[in-house]
Structure 1
Amino acid sequence: MTQQNELKAAVTVSPVQPSASAWQPLHQRVFRMLWMATVVSNIGSWMSDIGINWTMLSLSTDPLAVALVQAASSLPMFLFVLPAGVLADIIERRKILFFSQVWSFCAAAGLALLSFTGNVTPEVLLVATFLLSTGAALSSPAFQAIVPDLVEKQELSPAIALNSLGINISRAIGPALGGLILSFAGPWMVFLLNALSVVGVAVVLLRWKPQATVQRLPPEHFFTAIRGGLRYVHAAPVLRNVLARTVAFFLFGSAGWAMLPLVARRELGLGPGGYGTMLACIGVGAICGAVLLPKLRKRLNADQMMVAASLLFAVTMLALAFIRHVWLLNAFEFFTGFSWIAVLSTLNVGAQRSAARWVKARALAVYLTVFFGSMTVGSAIWGKLASEFGVSWSLSVATVGMVLGATTVLRWRLEKDASLDLDILDSAGGTADITIPHERGPVMVSCEYRIDPQDAHEFTLAMQDMRRVRRRTGAMGWAVYEDAVQPGVFVETWVMGSWIEHLRQHERHTVNDQRIRERVLAFHQGDEPPVVRHLVAPAG
């Protein structure tokens, strides 16, 4: 459960400097109550993480079995976070969040009961881990998306920073407290306290009455929304770069998390308290990283930050492979937390910055899917290698991979377009007065431009950016043609699935899209605007 805990808040990091006091969002009652309840819940999750890993170490000494705990924790995020993101974009988020808390309570309480009665086996523990992570997968996109509903617009950045601070506070407290309770009361108490820790979040959600939002169009259907989210990701170059860098880091970085319990128990001979202390050192490093990141960002851009943090994390994995002095290794684990939060924050900023508001939960869900898919596959790979060749050998190979992964900065840069402005334009478009049944379709839209033939090459280059705009906002197909008889006459066409999808397209245009459109229109000659036609497939 390690990465799910931090992503509830960390993934909402914003690159925008706060315009309000760092503590001002806490004046908002619902935000304040939810923030405190979430910190308590995350402490319970970190405690549970200690209990699960230590219980597996007690049940099996096979490195693969221990690494499968990480895989079972990551797999639900890979499987369910995208559907959860779609639901968070089309139905009331409070309902999703409350259901996920009930789910998590039942899973944690069931594990506590099985542990108390002595009925936990490796298989039972993996299933319980999977179920607990499923609850986190259901809630993560909605948690990310509700922050703007809880605070004023000028308080958004400090609210996001407070969420990140809260997750790192719980990261420092939870493991140490979990190790202490595990030593004196056993795993069942840790699991029970985790179950109780979600009650506060559920109570706050029950008492919260969000303002009803007015929608001019009906909500999207589930599978249509999934296709729309995937289409957006495919046509968003900066987001694609974020995803590539995510795979390059977390596929190898997962080795550090998967092998940590094995090193603590088998190589260092630590008890649960000592293991909790190691995780607490990681948490303290993450807190220090969160505090220092604003200053570091003034000196390093996103790509430089990623490379530096990746290389630092590679050094800490090498230390985990060979250092067997407890406190010296704990010092390196401090830098594990520091570098981890730097990478996670940088990638989260890139994912946030490259996703428009109308598709934010879905786009971030795709990012989380790639993140946890990489963690799941990586954990299984490094566990298998450790089982066959040893922990140190597995970590050494992952370290080499991490260093090679840092070179992806040469191909996929996060600073590719730092001027993105994805605020939605307040415009209903030019088709609001056309009355056509929403389900009619497909719809082909054409736009005729008249340009100077000498500008044809520059125009077609600009139209490639327009292609991405159309695809991002829902177009299933796009093309541009030049008139064979009249040089300089170009016709752009794109196809929407239905008339309502075309109406939604007008509501999805951002400031950045408008800039691209203005650049294209600058080539158009004449006093009249380009001629636009809407062709609808015959009914029946």
Structure 2
Amino acid sequence: MSSAPGAEAAPGSNPTITTTTRPTAPAGLTASAKRHMFSSLRNRNYRLFFTGAMVSNTGTWMSRIAQDWLVLSITGSSTAVGITTALQFLPMLLFGLYGGVIADRYPKRKLLLVSQASMGLLGLVLAVLTLSGHVQVWHVYAIAFLLGVVTVVDNPTRQSFVVEMVGPKDVRNAVSLNSANFQTARLIGPAVAGVLITAVGSGWAFLINGLSFGAPLIGLLLMRQEELHQVEPTPRGKGQLREGLRYVASRPELIWPIVLVGFIGTFGFNFPIWLSAFAHGVFHAGASTYGLFNTAMAVGSVAGALLAARRTATRLRMLVGAAVVFGALEMVAALSPSMYLLAALLVVIGVFGITINTTANSTVQLATDPAMRGRVMSLFMMVFVGGTPLGGPVVGWATDTYGARVGFLTGGLVSAAAAAAVGLAIHWTARRTQATT
């Protein structure tokens, strides 16, 4: 999940859009330290967070692969896979902004203890249902929806907690390392899941996922609270949701990244649908090939995240350019004649996909007043992942009706077109601002 225009603006200001942010180095911070790829890991609390996340992220990826393959095995339908994905993200679309209000109102560490424990419990319930042979597709739907409800609070809380652990000067690095963490787990999880599903079935992947949440819980409990850069919780009051929306609406440096990731998240990130359909319907292969595709994409994502961790400033046009290339690569990948060429293209798609993610995420965090960060990040995540309930079934239907290639091609086309439109809008806004000053 770099900086963007307005990232260094004072709270309450309404800065103009520029193409580059070059923050001043904090006192005592040398250029080499700024560029240290793993600088955030010097912080003990963040090390605990990072380690726990690595374990639970691996379990999460195992569960995702097992869940998609289980639904496809039960129903034989890519639409059903799309519905599962949609149900998991529907609560974010419906209630995402309220999660941000909660994240701003209560201590984030305590909220994360509750949310992570809840996710682990749901993983164990799905494991019991599957291992006992009683699982039905509606069980998977229900648990996916409940996971989405927990994510409504967990996601903005976890995103904004990063700044409290490492402080503003390391937030770009920490966001990038979080992405590298998640994508490294994506290398391990699908491979292990593919072996487990083939050997003993999906239930063991769900069991490992449920147990893996013990790691972040232990990490949160061991943190030194006095070392956190804690933000005073926002008192309960009327109109806090509207206040957050007005805050974003008045700041172009927040609006454009959020609009762009909304289109990309809705139409360009439906990989569970496309890749399971390519493995099953195009190349007539099994779960191991689906795991291979996810692993290939994760290789690129890890590389992209580590490159992002070295950046100290980013250009807004990098975000737009990466999104254009991302969409174009998806269109090329849709026409791949072999699974190995598709896997190679997925590596490059992973690089550009994670560049979009890290640039937009840190852009929005750094441009936001700390007291508003939970609400702003909830809007960011609601738009980014909450669009999936709208795009998932549509993309799943297109994939079932016209084939995996057409579904993938459509997602890439929409992503590239949206990026080009946002780029033109940013250029036009900048020129209009310059003309009036």
Sort the TM-score into its range (normalised by shorter chain). 0.7 to 0.9
Q: 1:350 aligns with which of 363, 373, 381?
A: 363
CA offsets 1:199-247 (integer angstroms, 9 cap, x no match)? 111122233352499999x943265322221221122222122222223
Q: Which residue of 1 aligns with 2:315?
A: 301
1:48 maps to a residue whose letter is S
Q: Distance in 2 between matches of 1:271 and 1:255?
A: 19
Q: Distance in 2 between matches of 1:410 and 1:27?
A: 37
Question: Is 1:404 aligned to 2:417, yes or no?
Answer: yes
Q: Distance in 2 between matches of 1:268 and 1:215?
A: 52
Contact between 2:101 and 2:375, CA under 8 Å: does it hold in 1?
yes
Question: Is 1:195 aligned to 2:188, yes or no?
Answer: no
Contact between 2:172 and 2:309, CA under 8 Å: does it hold in 1?
no
The structure-2 alpha-carbon separation of the partners of 1:150 and 1:405, relative to structure 1 and needing over 3 Å to count, comes to closer
2:203 maps to a residue whose letter is W
Of structures 1 and 2, the one scoring higher in RCO (CA 8 A, sep 6+) is 2
The structure-2 alpha-carbon separation of the partners of 1:273 and 1:351, relative to structure 1 and needing over 3 Å to count, comes to same
Q: What secondary structure, in the 3-state scheme, does the structure 2 residue paired with 1:251 have?
A: helix
Q: Which runs of 5+ in 2 are unaligned?
A: 8-20
Q: Which residue of 2 aligns with 1:367?
A: 380
Equivalences for residues 369-518 of structure 1 within 5 A? 369-413=382-426
CA offsets 1:294-330 (integer angstroms, 9 cap, x no match)? 78998x8322x23432333234433443324121110
Contact between 1:355 and 1:364, CA under 8 Å: does it hold in 2?
no
Question: Is 1:71 aligned to 2:77, yes or no?
Answer: no
Count of residues paired in the alignment: 408
Contact between 1:250 and 1:374, CA under 8 Å: does it hold in 2?
yes
Q: Distance in 1 between matches of 2:224 and 2:305?
A: 32
The structure-2 alpha-carbon separation of the partners of 1:194 and 1:408, relative to structure 1 and needing over 3 Å to count, comes to same
Contact between 2:175 and 2:362, CA under 8 Å: does it hold in 1?
no
CA offsets 1:19-58 (integer angstroms, 9 cap, x no match)? 4444444343322122101111111101101000110110
The structure-2 alpha-carbon separation of the partners of 1:349 and 1:416, relative to structure 1 and needing over 3 Å to count, comes to farther
Q: Distance in 1 between matches of 2:230 and 2:153?
A: 25
Q: Which residue of 1 aligns with 2:15?
A: none
1:402 maps to a residue whose letter is S
Shift of 1:271: 1.8
Contact between 2:304 and 2:352, CA under 8 Å: does it hold in 1?
yes
Q: Distance in 2 between matches of 1:336 and 1:293?
A: 15
Q: 1:149 aligns with which of 144, 160, 164?
A: 164
Equivalences for residues 84-483 of structure 1 within 5 A? 84-151=99-166, 154-211=169-226, 219-221=234-236, 223-293=238-308, 301-303=315-317, 305-413=318-426
1:399 maps to a residue whose letter is G
CA offsets 1:353-383 (integer angstroms, 9 cap, x no match)? 3321110111111111111232221112111
Shift of 1:155: 4.5
Percent of aligned pairs sharing the same letter: 26
Shift of 1:167: 1.9
Q: Which residue of 2 aligns with 1:37?
A: 52
Q: What secondary structure, in the 3-state scheme, does the structure 2 residue paired with 1:141 have?
A: helix
Q: What secondary structure, in the 3-state scheme, does the structure 1 residue paired with 2:239 have?
A: helix
Q: Distance in 1 between matches of 2:294 and 2:403?
A: 22
The structure in which a higher percent of residues are strand is 1
Q: Distance in 2 between matches of 1:288 and 1:42?
A: 17
Q: What secondary structure, in the 3-state scheme, does the structure 1 residue paired with 2:284 have?
A: coil
Contact between 2:127 and 2:207, CA under 8 Å: does it hold in 1?
yes
Q: CA RMSD in A?
A: 3.0
The structure-2 alpha-carbon separation of the partners of 1:30 and 1:56, relative to structure 1 and needing over 3 Å to count, comes to same
Q: TM-score, normalised by structure 2?
A: 0.84
Q: Distance in 2 between matches of 1:262 and 1:309?
A: 26
